[in-house]
Chains A and B, each alone.
Chain A
């Protein structure tokens, strides 16, 4: 099963990207969450939010003016 979801948090300032990430995590037991953010603050905060819930940061890729973060959790 391909368990993944995408959260577009571009244009939002903290703590909104963190709230959206935590909400997405609540709906998933495992899999991959792709989060798009456009500030470094949001990027660091989203990675921490994931870590606090047991989701590892699999990838952070600069994408134009934004960052594409992949959080992953495997059971």
Chain B
């Protein structure tokens, strides 16, 4: 066993031999968007992400399905088609799964992936002098809340969906074979700050994040100011705030975005400064916003400082 429950990584890693380790992960949730095909894509991209965050390549996936008897089975087949398309795009095989009857639909995948044991990326090896790169924009939790409220603009919905359905493969491949890449995590339910704190704490370092450089979906500012903030963002704030220092200069909406729980969020990559440009160059074809958002320092007082 190489990575298990003792770390806050999302996947388990088991060494099969000197060259191959198995990554095993699963994730599923209730619909975040109305369109079943899009939901299937998002849930699959989200589940596959855990394999990419460990530096691995997914090869096999199984469906996890909860579905009410009273709903049109056509909705389910659309969800499954969305999942299938993402698994195919990832170059993996979808080989069945299991479904149970439930009051509320839920969908996700159990995914197996392979990784070279020497190339496993965990979230606790960031080093002082590293640069932090975020591979997707923030704010999708807020946009999803605005979608539920019927207030989100078409542009905002489109941007959020594009981000949520994008595979983190592009981020993973951007780091491939670059020795200076020390640590990776994917940004999900704890928001950027929660996951950044976990990574900094596990690495015993301080992340200095520059708020002006954080990519986010533009409309998230307007919707956050309107109070369209998911309960999870407040929970994250209350849980993590003591381990971070956030400058008073940062507007309230941006604080909300920092704690906003992300569905199928991007990768946070900690890479040696001299190799960071290479990673950014490799991300050039990404369909979504990415940016260098800060630096890693020797630990001082707080795990994350946002200025």
Q: A-side interface residues toward B, CB under 8 Å?
A: 13-15, 18-19, 21-22, 39-41, 44-52
Contacts and interface: CB of A to CB of B under 8 A. Distances in A.
B149 A18 contact: yes
Contacts of A22: 226
A14 B230 contact: yes
B231 A52 contact: no
Question: Which 6 residue pairs across A and B have the least CB separation, nearest first?
Answer: A45-B227, A48-B227, A49-B227, A15-B149, A41-B231, A52-B226
Query: Which among B151, B226, B227, B229 has the highest number of chain A CB atoms within 10 Å?
Result: B227
Contact of A49 (B226, B231, B234): B226
A43 to B, nearest CB: 10
B146 interface: yes
Contacts of A14: 145, 228-231
A52 B225 contact: yes
Contacts of B158: none
Contact of B229 (A13, A39, A44): A44
22 contacts: A13-B231, A14-B229, A15-B149, A19-B150, A19-B151, A21-B227, A39-B231, A40-B234, A41-B229, A41-B231, A41-B234, A44-B227, A44-B229, A45-B228, A46-B227, A47-B227, A48-B224, A48-B229, A49-B226, A49-B227, A49-B228, A52-B226
A49 B234 CA distance: 16
B148 interface: yes
A51 B225 CA distance: 8
B160 to A, nearest CB: 15
Query: Which among A18, A46, A49 has the highest number of chain B CB atoms within 10 Å?
Result: A18
Which DSSP category, helix, strand, loop or mixed, fits chain A's interface?
Answer: helix
Contacts of A19: 149-151
Query: Which among A13, A40, A44, A50 has the highest number of chain B CB atoms within 10 Å?
Result: A44
B149 A45 contact: no
A45 B229 contact: yes
Contacts of A51: 225
Query: Which among B145, B149, B225, B226 has the highest number of chain A CB atoms within 10 Å?
Result: B226
Contacts of B231: 13-14, 39, 41
Contacts of A39: 231
Contacts of A48: 224-227, 229
Contact of A44 (B151, B225, B234): B234
Contacts of A18: 149, 226-228
A29 B155 CA distance: 30
Nearest to B224: A48
A22 B222 CA distance: 14
A45 B150 CA distance: 16
Query: Which among A45, A47, A49, A52 has the highest number of chain B CB atoms within 10 Å?
Result: A45
B153 to A, nearest CB: 15
A4 to B, nearest CB: 20
Contacts of B149: 15, 18-19
Interface in B205-248: 224-231, 234
Given A41-B229, A48-B227, 8 more contacts: A13-B231, A15-B149, A18-B226, A19-B149, A39-B231, A45-B227, A45-B229, A49-B227
